[in-house]
Amino acid sequence: MLEPREGIPPVIADETALARVIAAFEAGSGPVAVDAERASGYRYGQRAYLVQLRREGAGTALIDPVACPDLSALGDALSGVEWVLHAATQDLPCLREIGMVPTRLFDTELAGRLAGFPRVGLGAMVESVLGFVLEKGHSAVDWSTRPLPEPWLRYAALDVELLVDLRDALEKELDRQGKLEWAHQEFDAIASAPPPEPRKDPWRRTSGMHKVRRRRQLAVVRELWQTRDRIAQRRDVSPGKVLGDAAIVEAALALPVNVHALAALNGFGHRVGKRQLEQWQAAVDRAKALSEAQLPQPGQPVTGPPPPRAWADKDPAAAARLSAARAGVSALAEQVGMPQENLIAPDTVRRVCWEPPAVVDAESVAAALAGHGARPWQVEQVTPVLVTALSATAP
């Protein structure tokens, strides 16, 4: 499919045009297809740089959320309408920032997983379910570019062109498999989930951190990461464009004594100016000047069970329970035709196996699963498997 059915719509970039779109979409019928394009890898943060919508009776709209940063009136107009998104959890945070929050949704990627499709990317789903091949060449471009080139706008419009058709076909397939109610519970859980909490110590997710063992070196990673983050935010560029993770880890391991030593390290070479080198070295020096009490601890405080690889030593009985539970969940996932992680979150299985109910029966295991956030359909499916696994390995 090379062209949207009604051609490429003009980009909405002023309040008058936006008001017309809001009225048209409010008057439309049926579900609304929604998508957003970000500039990951180019800009700081995950804000939306284009929002695409399509609804029966309203056609397709492409909205510039830079020129129209408050889309809450559009969100309100579509309140109560089912929103169709592909991989909803990726787009909902940036849509929430501009005032668009669905009350009902249908996630075509998640529907594909539950229905057992081996490939669940939008292009693959549209091809296998609807028989159309989508042109998918512009997913990783810099969507903050202005004006947006016509081929990119064509791609963006096509992303919502068939989304409602895909939703309808997947609904039929889920119904045929007896999984439609399961899907509705999953979609409701996504729509009602609160925004995620900000990450604690995000610097600990620096790629290559496993090489950094000493607390002083951890302090260097933290200081460089925070300095980089401030610069990236101020310049509105992706942090990786300011300084790579590999360079941060390299500096932490080397603990350079001066700018000259820093410049000799990978990632700080000839393309880094003297002023920049000085600011990175200043960050290293700040970390080196910290007292022992100010240094970060080696690991984050662990909530919940330890990593499964440590179970055999710490608690052999728990390791046996987990092994039996995993085998049971794997067999059930194959039987119902979906990935194990969609049948039940692996973390939930680990928690129940690490601290099983005092009395193992269907009621206690179901309560434990629900307490860890499992949906009713998951509790119903997985409880018998876990009761068997926990009972078979009981002392």
Q: 40-77, pLDDT tens digit by residue?
A: 999 999 999 999 999 999 999 999 999 999 999 999 99
Residue 138 has pLDDT above 90, yes or no: no
Q: What angle do CA 355, 360, 363 make, to 5 degrees?
A: 105
Q: What is the pTM of this model?
A: 0.92
Q: Quick check: 55 and 23 in contact, CB under 8 A?
A: no
Residue 199: the pLDDT is 86
Q: How many CB atoms lie within 10 A of CB 26?
A: 16
Residue type, 258: N
Assign 29 a pLDDT band (cuts: 50, 70, 90).
very high
Mean pLDDT across 370-389: 97
Mean pLDDT across 215-224: 97
Residue 3: the pLDDT is 86
Class of domain 11-192: alpha beta
Q: Please state the separation of Cα 314 from the chain's center in Å.
A: 33
- The upper half-sphere exposure of residue 286, i.e. CA atoms within 13 Å in the direction of its Cβ, equals 15
Residue 395 has pLDDT above 70, yes or no: no
Residue 265: the pLDDT is 93
CA distances to 46, 72, 73, 295 from 69, rounded to whole Å, are 14, 9, 11, 41
Residue 198 has pLDDT above 90, yes or no: no
Residue 302 has pLDDT above 70, yes or no: no
Give whichever of 253-257, 272-276, 305-309 has the largest mean pLDDT. Answer: 253-257
Alpha-carbon gap, residue 364 to 271, rounded angstroms: 62
Pick the CATH number of 202-289 from 1.10.150.80, 1.10.760.10, 3.90.1420.10, 1.10.150.120: 1.10.150.80
Q: 308-391: which CATH topology? A: DNA polymerase; domain 1 (1.10.150)
Mean pLDDT across 117-129: 94
Alpha-carbon gap, residue 118 to 380, rounded angstroms: 25
Q: Please state the separation of Cα 100 from the chain's center in Å.
A: 18
Q: 341-360, pLDDT tens digit by residue?
A: 999 999 999 999 999 999 99
Can you give the chain as a three-state secondary structure string?
A: CCCCCCCCCCEECCHHHHHHHHHHHHHCEEEEEEEEEECCCCCCCCCEEEEEEEEECCEEEEECCCCCCCCHHHHHHCCCCEEEECCHHHHHHHHHHCCCCCCEEEEHHHHHHHCCCCCCCHHHHHHHHHCCCCCCCCCCCCCCCCCCCHHHHHHHHHHHHCHHHHHHHHHHHHHHCCCHHHHHHHHHHHHHCCCCCCCCCHHHHCCCHHHCCCHHHHHHHHHHHHHHHHHHHHHCCCHHHHCCHHHHHHHHHHCCCCHHHHHCCCCCCCCCCHHHHHHHHHHHHHHHCCCHHHCCCCCCCCCCCCCHHHHHHHCHHHHHHHHHHHHHHHHHHHHHCCCHHHHCCHHHHHHHHHCCCCCCCHHHHHHHHHHCCCCHHHHHHHHHHHHHHHHHCCC
Mean pLDDT across 375-387: 98
Residue 392: the pLDDT is 80
Mean pLDDT across 316-334: 96
Average pLDDT, the chain: 94
Q: 69-98, pLDDT tens digit by residue?
A: 999 999 999 999 999 999 999 999 999 999
CA distances to 17, 73, 223, 261 from 280, rounded to whole Å, are 47, 45, 9, 12
Mean pLDDT across 188-209: 93
Residue 371: the pLDDT is 96
Outline which parts of the chain fall under CATH 1.10.150.80: 202-289, 308-391
Outline which parts of the chain fall under CATH 3.30.420.10: 11-192
Residue 6 has pLDDT above 80, yes or no: yes
CA distances to 65, 95, 123 from 99, rounded to whole Å, are 11, 7, 28
